[in-house]
Amino acid sequence: MNLNLLSDVPGGLTRRAHSFVAEHGIRVDVRSVEQHRQWWLDRDIPADVVDRMAAFQERWGGLLLPPASQYDGGPKYFEADSPEGTSAEGWWFEAGTQRTAVPYSFMIGPAGEFGIHADHWAPLHATVEGWIEALALAHHASMCAKRITKVTGDDVDGLELDAMEPVPETKGLADTWWRGADSLVAIYTGEARCFSFPQGRAALIYSGLNEWGLYGGVREGVFPGEQS
pTM of the shown model: 0.92
Q: What is the mean pLDDT of residues 197-209?
A: 97
Say how many CA atoms lie within 13 Å of 68 toward its Cβ: 22
pLDDT of amino acid 222: 44
108-138, pLDDT tens digit by residue?
999 999 999 998 999 999 999 999 999 999 9
pLDDT at 2 exceeding the cut of 90 = no
pLDDT at 1 exceeding the cut of 70 = no
Spatial separation of the C-alpha atoms in residues 8 and 181, rounded to whole Å: 35
Contact 26, 6 (CB under 8 A): yes
Lowest mean pLDDT among 13-17, 66-70, 198-202, 214-218: 214-218
Say how many CA atoms lie within 13 Å of 105 toward its Cβ: 20
Handedness of CA 81, 68, 63, 113 (dihedral sign): positive
pLDDT of amino acid 107: 98
Report the DSSP beta bridge partners of residue 75.
98
pLDDT of amino acid 224: 45
> What does the domain layout of the chain look like in residue ranges?
3-131, 134-215
Q: Beta strands of 66-222 (E only): which ranges?
A: 81-86, 90-96, 105-108, 114-117, 121-125, 147-152, 165-166, 175-179, 183-188, 202-207
Spatial separation of the C-alpha atoms in residues 89 and 69, rounded to whole Å: 31
Confidence of residue 228 (pLDDT cuts 50, 70, 90): very low
